[in-house]
Amino acid sequence: MANLLDLLNAYSAKRVDKSDFDCCIEAFTTLNEKAYVSFTPTEWLPVLHNILYFIQDPDELAVHCSSAQVLKHFVNMVAQNPDSEYQPVFLCRLFPALKNGLHSKNEQVCAEILGVVAYAVSSCDEVTSLVDMRILLAGGDEEANFSNNIHHV
């Protein structure tokens, strides 16, 4: 876990105050391919805090897209283990942070975050806060889906 977080937050040895993009992408690849499966809810906390920071990066498309994918993996863990410790982490940490992230001034960032929220609404049957929002997905009709259409307004 420490190595993974170190890679996520690595800085370039050549330039001051510049992230090491290659290390960051390597960490995201590791997270999205295999590492997420072995995390406990407690181990997810530092990862989620880092990912919530990275998803708001307006400059790097690869970084906030990869961040959204990691968050979707966590949502899958919540959906697969509804009565476990994942649900309180989702309700107390991730969901409020996602709602707060929707206030971003960057349209791409908002779209990624809204995509994660829509994915959570469609996946998590046991989370009562999300069940009420199912109507916004229009029963799977992509043309009537609120999360797809809100950016056109």
Among candidates 123, 102, 100, which has minimal Cα distance to 114? 102
E strand or H helix at 51: helix 41-54
Query: Over 90: is that where the pLDDT of 52 sits?
Result: yes
Q: What is the CATH number of the domain that holds 43?
A: 1.25.40
Q: Which residues constitute the domain of residue 29? A: 2-152
Q: Distance (Å, rounded) from C-alpha 5 to C-alpha 43?
A: 11
* β partners of residue 11: 19
pLDDT at 61 over 80: yes
**21-33 helix and 61-80 helix, angle to the nearest 10 degrees:** 20
Tokens of 24: 């960051």
- pLDDT by residue (tens digit) across 71-82? 999 999 999 987
Counting the structural domains of the chain, the total is 1
Q: What is the pLDDT of residue 98?
A: 94
pLDDT at 89: 94
User: What's the whole-model pTM score?
Assistant: 0.90
Task: Provide the token pair at 112.
Answer: 């990624």
Q: Tell me the average pLDDT of the chain.
A: 88
Q: What's the pLDDT tens digit per position in 82-107?
A: 788 999 999 999 999 999 998 989 88
